[in-house]
Structure 1
Amino acid sequence: MNKKEKIILFGASRGGENFIKHNKIKYEILAIADNDQKRWGSVLEGLKVINPKDILKYDFDNIYITSQWVDSITYQLTKDLKISLEKIKIPKKSSLKESFKPFEHDETLKFARESLCKITQYLSNHNIIAIIDSGTALGIVRDKDLIKWDDDIDFAIDSKSFEQLISLANGLKGILPKNQYSKWKLELISLSNEDVCLSLELKSSDLNMLKEFEISLQKRTIKDGLSHLDSSAGIFYAPALHFERYERVDSFDSFVYLPYKVDDFLTFMYGNYKEPKKDTSIESYDNRVVQKNSNIKSFDVSKKII
C-alpha cells in the first residue's frame, strides 16, 4: 500500500478549506499555517491553524500554498524558515474552489448568466459601471459565454464608486435570481481595514440541481497610469486606460460592460488568450507582480457577512 504524501497547507482561507474538502483522501494533511495570528489555535475542517514558525516541528513531505500571495509566502518559507523550494507546491485553481466547473451544469449556467446581467443593469441604474474583469471578460470575448470550466464571475468597480456599492448590497441581493435550492450569502472582504471586495456567494441545498459559485465585485484604484486590483494587494494591475473607459456590448439578451480596448487588456493579462487553457495556477498570469518580500497585507484579511 502506497503511503500518502504528508503535507502542510499555508493559507487558512476559503481556498484552503476547499482544498481540504477536495483532497482529504488523497493527502495526509497535518496542519494549516497562516500569517494571521488571530487564526492561530483555531480549527479549519478539523485541522489546527498554526504559526508558520511551527511548520518545522512537523515531519512533512511538501507544503501547498492555498493563498493568492504565493510569492511572498514562498519568500517567507525559503528565506525565513530555510525550507527547500522543491518542497513548496502551488495547487491548480480548481482545487481551491468550492465546486468543480459549475458552468458545465446547464441550470447553474443560466443562473450565472442571469446574475451577471441583473447585477450590471441594477448597478448601471444607480450610476455604477460594473466592468467585467479577468476570466469572465475572457469568456465573453473569446467564447461569447462564460467559460465552461470557470468557477466564478469577476467584476471591477472603480474605487470612487465602491462605498456606494456597499450601500446598495441589500438591494443587489434582492434582484439576484432565486429558486427552491438557492441561497445567496454576501460578504464584505477587507485587507488591512480597507474594503476591497463584495462577494456574492451562491449556496445550494441540492448540488445535483444547482451548483455553487461566487461573484466578486472587486475594487480597482487608478494611480500613476495603472489600474490596481486592490484585493490582490499589489499582485495584479493593468494599464489604466482599460478601466478609465469601457465598451458596452450586447450579451445574453441584455448588455455587459467590458474593459476598453478589451483585446489589448486580455493580451496583457493572458498573453495568447485565444488559446484555451483548462486548468491554471496563479503563476499562469502574464501580468502578475512577483513579490520578493513578505506582504503585510496578506496577514490581515477580514470578512463581514452582510
Structure 2
Amino acid sequence: MPSEQILAASGNAEHLLCPAGGSPVGRSFEDFTADEPTGAPELVVAGHLDGYEARRAIRRGDRTVPVTVWIRVVSRPEGRNLALAKLLPDAVTLGEALRRPPGSTAETVVGSTDAHLTVDRISTDVAALLEHRAHDVVGQSLLRLVDPADVTPLLRALARSSETGLGTSLPVRPAMFGFRANRCQMVLLPMEPSPSFAFALVDEEAADALRSAPGMTQALWQFDQIVRSATASRMAAELPADRGLDRLSGRELEIVVRLMHGDRVRAIAESLFLSPSTVRNHLSAVFRKMRVGSQQELIHLLRATDGPSSHS
C-alpha cells in the first residue's frame, strides 16, 4: 500500500479474481474492481488505522460480484505498508473458518457498547486478558479499557467507523484499574443506534508475519478469527438483552449465534474446524450457564420477545 499491488494470493483468491485462469499476483487490486476505491488506504498510509472494512464490487467477466474486503497492515518496512486482505463474498456467514495453526492458543474477547460507548456486554474471556471479571468491565467506558496513549487512535477509529458504517481495526494495549495487558488487535464494528459498537480483542502474535510461513499462517488465522468474532458479537447484540449471554466465552457466543441462524452441530463443527463432540461440549457449557436443557429451549429463550435488545 498505497499501490495495492498483490504480492501473493491463495487459491480461493485466484479463483475469485481470475475465474478464467491466471494469477492476480503482480497486479493492482484495483485492476479487478468495478467501483471507486475508498479513502481508507490513505488513513492506513498516514498511520491512523492499521486495518479497515470496505464494500467493493469485483469484475468477473460480464458481471460484478459484491464483496466485503478486510485489510490489515502486518508490516511497515522502509516506508512501505504490507497488508493482508480477506475477501468475503458472503459477509453475513463469513464462510468457512481457517484451521487453527498448531500451538496457537489465543482466545478472542468479544463485547459491545451502547450509544454512550459504555460496555454493556463482554465475554467471560476478559478475565484472562484484564484480570477482572466480566461484571467488573460492564458499565465501564470503552475508552477506559485501553492505555491512555491508545485513546486518541481509538477515537479516530471509532469516528471513521461511525461515519462510514464500516469496521476498522487498530492495535491497542488493554488496561483497567492500573493493570496493563499485552498488546492486542482490536476490531470495531458499528451498530445502531450510533455510535454503539461491537468489538473483539485478541493477543497480537509477536512473530513477524512476513519472515516465515508459520508467521504468515498465524497472522492469517488470527485476522480471520478476530473478524469472525467481532461479527458474532454484533449478531449477538441483536438478540434479547439480559438472557445470560454475558456468561459465555467468545467461542460459545459464536456457536450460539450460528445455532440461532439455523446451523446445526455438524455444520458448525465443519465451518469452525472443530469436532462435533467439541461443539456439543461447548453447547453443554452454554446450557448450564443459560439454565436450559436443550437446543430448542435455548433457541426459545433467545427468541423470546419479552426482553428487547439493548440496541433496539
TM-score, normalising length: structure 2: 0.36
TM-score, normalising length: structure 1: 0.36
More strand by share: 1
Flag the structure with more relative contact order, 1 or 2, with Cα contacts below 8 A and sequence separation at least 6: 1
